[in-house]
Structure 1
Amino acid sequence: MVVLWAVFLLVHLLTAWLGWVYPSQPMGDVVLVYEPWATSALSGGPIVGIDETWVYPQLALVPMLIAAALSAPLVLLLGVSHAYLVGWATLVIILDAVAFGVLVGRSPSRARRVAAWFWCAALLLLGPIALYRIDAITVPIAVIGGLWLVSRPTIGAALLTIGAWIKIWPGALVLAAVVALRARMRVLLAAAVVTTGVVATLFLLGADTEIFGFLTEQTGRGLQIEAVAATPFLWLAVAGAARIEYSFEILTFQITAPGVDAVAAALTPLMALSVLAVTVVGARKAARGATFPRLFPPFALTLVTLLIVTNKVGSPQFQTWLIAPVILWLVLDRVRARVPAVVVLTLCLLTCLVYPIGYDALLRADALAVAVLTVRNVLLLVLLILSIRALARVPARHPKPQE
């Protein structure tokens, strides 16, 4: 236990420090985007998600404000430069420590120890992007919520719903829980109560059309260069037949080439249909008596991987979404989780090589950088196939009739 906690702390400190060392500003979003949003809200300026439409669900502002509160003493007492970065890293480490404590407890099983080692390795391989993005806040929330789904389904579902109001992806775990868990009505009720409370609070604060702006803001964006669907167009860019351009509206690099708009337009419907199809498969398994430990992990990982593979955006921090489902799979069904866990660790390493280490070369459409990204994206498809195969192989048994 002491060794596990020592490694946990060392990995977090090393990863936080690497943010200052690696190229391409892996901490850029924190100081260039999150801090100004928090400062505006605290100084009486426009509040994102309430006074203006925002790309994130509104609860994403809460950790940004907490980071500002944590950084304030550093500025007042010590005059520390870049205090907001320190405050943000401190917040993420605290949340991760709470979730890590829930995972390992006082006397963890072998499965939980393996899951803990996996988490540390994933953070180390993924690098600073695992800490310095809003997605980092949702990982510990999803881990705790997922671990509590069986013993405390109401609290677990509430936490996952809160996570979805910070970054949408934990909603996939809520959907998987509704299908796979027998206490599905408690999950639905908890999700409904949290959502109703958030929406009502936003109304009271003056929001109206901005409440679901995080959904409409995504509809018009183009195809980001790191997205899986952008891979063929990147090779066109290598050949000089496509361009990589920066969008100042959404602060990201997108690919421009014939056919890109059609592909981007098709991805959102493809995502919806794919999620629906997988949900039908999961529901049929559940109706035939599949157990939660066998059904939930591959179902959840399939849904989360689909959200990445069919996304117009391919941001490197999306790989953090895979960490929580694999941790839960390792805890619930360690043997069958081994191969997906190795694939996810490889994805973390390749993603770090793409961003921040090789990002400048990628923006130049360098063939080697594009090749590394291609391998990463192909491996995402492999993970999706592995997850779907595991879901299809979940044994179903007809439940015994009620006496």
Structure 2
Amino acid sequence: MTAGDVREASAPRTRRRTRLRRILGGRLALWAAFVLVHAALVQLNLWAPGWPLGDVVGVYRVWAMNAADGYVRMGIDVPWVYPILAFAPMTAALAFGSAWYGQTWLGIVVLLDAVAFAILLGSRRLSRTRRLAAWWWLAFLALLGPIALGRIDAVTVPIAMAGLLWAAGRPRVAAVLLTIGAWVKVWPAALFGALLIASRKRGDVMTVAASLSVGILGVSLLAGSGLNALGFVAEQADRGLQIEAPLALAWLWQIVGGSPAVRIYYDREILTFQIAGPGADVAAALTTPIMAVGVVAVLLLGVRAARRGAPFGRLLPPLALAFAVVLMLANKVGSPQFVTWLAAPVVLGLVLRPRRFAVPALLAAGIALLTQLIYPYWYDWLLVAHPVLVFALTVKVLLLVVLLAWCVRAVWQAGGGRVQRRPADARTHEEE
């Protein structure tokens, strides 16, 4: 067979591969995958073992029904563990009645994800980087499993993602979205901090966020909240050391080793499983100052990079991711839904700098998979400190440490002075 014959025989296969890549790279395939992934996650939330929708139907629904019946409004009549706007989606999920609360909640989250997905894909010609980021997000959701939809964090992720994606061209809109997200669940405030450091329109961003926050607090006060509107600060401070928290590993391994001095118990006030043992309360108290030190360290790194002229598109993604990971590692709670926080900054990084963000994208995917293995399917084993589950949690924490190290290095390099300022830098990187 001649070389010409080989080329002629391989031509149909090449055309088929090209056609397949074109189909998979189109909007129709991406939206079909979006529907399939979310349909699977909805089914898992409704039917998977471990009751993954437990917090939604067992806790959120009770809060919403108590308010609807005029009994008590969380965050208004009494202090609450969440910021005041968290009550909005919880109340909205009662739209079709108590019996359909779980399904309505899932519908709200899927709708918010669809809006963020549409923003990610954009209205122009679909770029390679946005296509890559979209496929990664869908894979991340599938690896993370039902927890990706079944907590209040799931409401804030698409809001935060839209804010970061609009940060370069619409910083005021980004500030509005991230501020709203922070008043639903605190963590988007970390992304807002990254935006404030990286943006050249810091005054506008800060003004928008401050004005909106004053408005939210003002409405809460008019509703009769008093200091209860800020009660989530004290409520978080009173928590003990939850078993999924990174610092809890030291005590979990003691249980694995047979220590009778350490045990796992259920706190009926906070509704979480926590650690009891020598030094556990001290460790829980230390998480807040440790978190503060970590946040300040990342902030100083970001300020250094910004002052040295780091381009917006090179600084914002790793800085936002660094803030999110610090909040996860230094957290006394460590709930599995916290992993959802990684999605927004990683998606932004893949849109702007896909080659550089390959490592954090893979690390985040691995963290998501380990999270689903732990919760909800084998969570009962973690409650008895089974060595396999404690080991899986340890690997997850180590991956988070590696991810933080990557972020710190990336932020430091962004301020290395080797890159000159360019206007609209965040958009130029999308063609990488």
- What TM-score range do you get, normalising by the shorter chain? over 0.9
Matched, 1:300 2:317: no
Q: Deviations over 1:333-357 (max 9, x none)?
A: 1111111001001100000011111
Partner of 1:273: 293
Distance 1:36 1:263 in 2: 32
Matched, 1:385 2:405: yes
Residues 294-373 of structure 1 aligned to structure 2 (within 5 Å): 294-373=314-393
Distance 1:116 1:145 in 2: 16
Q: Is the 8 A contact 2:241 2:284 kept in 1?
A: yes
Distance 1:302 1:105 in 2: 26
Residues 203-218 of structure 1 aligned to structure 2 (within 5 Å): 203-218=221-236
Q: Is the 8 A contact 1:288 1:399 kept in 2?
A: no
Matched, 1:113 2:139: no
Partner of 1:19: 45
Matched, 1:150 2:168: yes
Letter in 2 for 1:191: A
Structure 1 residue ranges, 4+ long, deviating more than 6 angstroms after superposition = none
Letter in 1 for 2:53: M
SS, match of residue 273 in structure 2 = strand
Q: Deviations over 1:370-391 (max 9, x none)?
A: 1111111111111111111111
Distance 2:197 2:127 in 1: 27
Distance 2:281 2:63 in 1: 30
Matched, 1:104 2:121: yes
Q: Deviations over 1:156-208 (max 9, x none)?
A: 11110000000000001110011001011111011101101101001100011
Partner of 1:38: 64
Distance 2:32 2:222 in 1: 45
Alignment RMSD: 1.3
Residues 161-176 of structure 1 aligned to structure 2 (within 5 Å): 161-176=179-194
1:363 is displaced (CA, Å) by 0.8
Aligned counterpart for 1:376 among listed residues 373, 396, 407? 396
Q: Deviations over 1:301-330 (max 9, x none)?
A: 000000000000110000001111101111
Q: Is the 8 A contact 1:350 1:376 kept in 2?
A: yes
Letter in 2 for 1:353: L
Distance 2:226 2:241 in 1: 29
Distance 1:56 1:230 in 2: 23
Aligned counterpart for 2:79 among listed residues 29, 45, 53? 53
Matched, 1:250 2:267: no
> Gaps spanning 5+ residues in structure 2: where?
1-26, 422-432
SS, match of residue 414 in structure 2 = coil
Matched, 1:91 2:117: no
1:286 is displaced (CA, Å) by 0.5
Aligned counterpart for 1:128 among listed residues 146, 149, 154? 146
Letter in 1 for 2:115: V
1:22 is displaced (CA, Å) by 2.4
1:21 is displaced (CA, Å) by 3.1
Letter in 2 for 1:299: L
Q: Deviations over 1:103-156 (max 9, x none)?
A: 002322111111111110111111110001000000100011111111111111
Letter in 2 for 1:240: G
Aligned residues: 391
Q: Is the 8 A contact 1:19 1:25 kept in 2?
A: yes
Aligned counterpart for 2:284 among listed residues 264, 285, 301? 264
1:395 is displaced (CA, Å) by 4.1
Distance 2:309 2:102 in 1: 48
Larger Rg: 2
1:239 is displaced (CA, Å) by 2.0
Distance 2:335 2:308 in 1: 38
Q: Is the 8 A contact 2:311 2:420 kept in 1?
A: no
Aligned counterpart for 2:243 among listed residues 216, 225, 250? 225
Distance 1:350 1:42 in 2: 38
Distance 2:292 2:386 in 1: 33
Distance 1:375 1:23 in 2: 24
Distance 1:34 1:342 in 2: 33
Question: TM-score with structure 1 length normalisation?
Answer: 0.95
Aligned counterpart for 1:68 among listed residues 79, 83, 94? 94
Distance 2:32 2:263 in 1: 46
Distance 1:249 1:24 in 2: 21
Identity across the alignment (%): 50
Letter in 2 for 1:89: L
SS, match of residue 145 in structure 2 = helix
1:27 is displaced (CA, Å) by 0.3
Matched, 1:201 2:215: no
Letter in 1 for 2:188: P
Q: Is the 8 A contact 1:181 1:292 kept in 2?
A: yes
1:399 is displaced (CA, Å) by 7.5
Distance 1:65 1:108 in 2: 36
Letter in 1 for 2:106: A
